[in-house]
Amino acid sequence: MTGLPTTDAPANQIEGTNMTTNTPHHPIAIIGAGLGGLTMAAVLHANGITAPLFELEAGRNVRTQGGMLDIHDDTGQKALQAAGLFDQFTKLVHVGGESQRVLDHHGTVLFENKEVDGFTRPEIDRGHLRDLLLDALPDGAVHWGCRVIAVRPLEEPVGRHEVTLANGQSFTTDLLVGADGAWSKVRALVSDALPAYTGISFIEGDLEEADERHPDQAVVMGPGMLFALGGGAGIIGHRETDGSLHFYLGHHAEEGWIDSVDFTDTEAGKAAALGVLDGWAPELRGLVANADAALTPRRIHALPPIHTWDRTPGVTLLGDAAHLMSPFAGEGANLAMYDGYQLAFAIAANPGDTEKAVAEYEAELFPRAQVSATDSADSLVTLFSDGAAQTLATTFDGYYRQR
């Protein structure tokens, strides 16, 4: 699928009310206003098609969107082009943020590239990217504070679903799009698969005003991205556009390990994290020791790398709902955006025939997701194995020599 069609909106794009039940009806309804759902809505909007999003969060600013994302030229950037947002995106990227350094846990630099072309995988604040997509949508497109608690197929017409919200409201739709992330409610309509714990737990932290307040950590992080790996653990971090440092400390842990530590107690959380970094260089341990607030723990889950389902009329999935994977291939957000673009594209290209559109979309979704999910699972093993730092340094070195 390449390029975008120049069709008028399909004839069935009419919002309304079900005459017999008085329930609101939406031809297309997107559950979840994450990067995938928002991209789908933005590309549909660019093609003259309106689709409401139903999002459990109460508003766009209720939660800080932490971390940086590198947006790939073959997926995320294509989606932004299709939404007509690429030029605005280029003004938001973190210049220099693409540079990478790989260190072992003693602090020895094994790979470093300061000179990068800046547009193969430019970095952007997750929050800036989300705002870009939200601002592209018409007022009222996102229905905030709408947690979906139940979805069910209606007997007729075939493919129509009823969606129930926690606030007691409900609506029907002819195309229910599950863009509702890892713990998707919509997924159960097409698949029994559930995310499983990967065996890796993350501890996340931030250091504000790093150059002034934490110069040793600012130096060890470098201008872009840091991978410090060793002894079955790893720190993956970024310098952010506001001069802060954000890091994820990942390590092998029992599923219950996070519950054994009181991470709301800043000192207890730091002590547990520093325990993971026994024998590490002081400047790397300093990322944890000097973090500015309580650390945030997170278990990393994934769906099976091969996750497909039989075509089910009137419903489909995108993004993490379809193919949750560990973050070690850096693909999840990019794929969610690309899925959203591809589904919107297919709908615009098949006016009046969403079933054909969804079948085309899913035929390309499954193999695409499988490749990335397999890469991601392989990377998880590599990054937390003996000799991980040297392996990654050699991989990066080979990659940049070829370009």
Ligand X SMILES: Cc1cc2nc3c(=O)[nH]c(=O)nc-3n(C[C@H](O)[C@H](O)[C@H](O)COP(=O)(O)OP(=O)(O)OC[C@H]3O[C@@H](n4cnc5c(N)ncnc54)[C@H](O)[C@@H]3O)c2cc1C
By CB under 6 A, name the binding residues for ligand X: 31-37, 54-57, 69-70, 147-148, 179-181, 185, 202, 248, 319-320, 327, 330-334, 336
Closer of 68 and 277 to ligand X (Cβ): 68
Q: What is the 3-state secondary structure (H, E, C) of 168-207?
A: CCEEEEEEEEECCCCCCCHHHHCCCCCCEEEEEEEEEEEE
State the nearest-atom distance from the C-beta of 336 to ligand X, in Å.
4
State the nearest-atom distance from the C-beta of 119 to ligand X, in Å.
16
State the nearest-atom distance from the C-beta of 63 to ligand X, in Å.
9
Closer of 63 and 114 to ligand X (Cβ): 63
State the nearest-atom distance from the C-beta of 380 to ligand X, in Å.
12
Closer of 108 and 296 to ligand X (Cβ): 296
Closer of 35 and 281 to ligand X (Cβ): 35
State the nearest-atom distance from the C-beta of 218 to ligand X, in Å.
21
Closer of 79 and 357 to ligand X (Cβ): 79
Closer of 5 and 399 to ligand X (Cβ): 399
State the nearest-atom distance from the C-beta of 147 to ligand X, in Å.
5
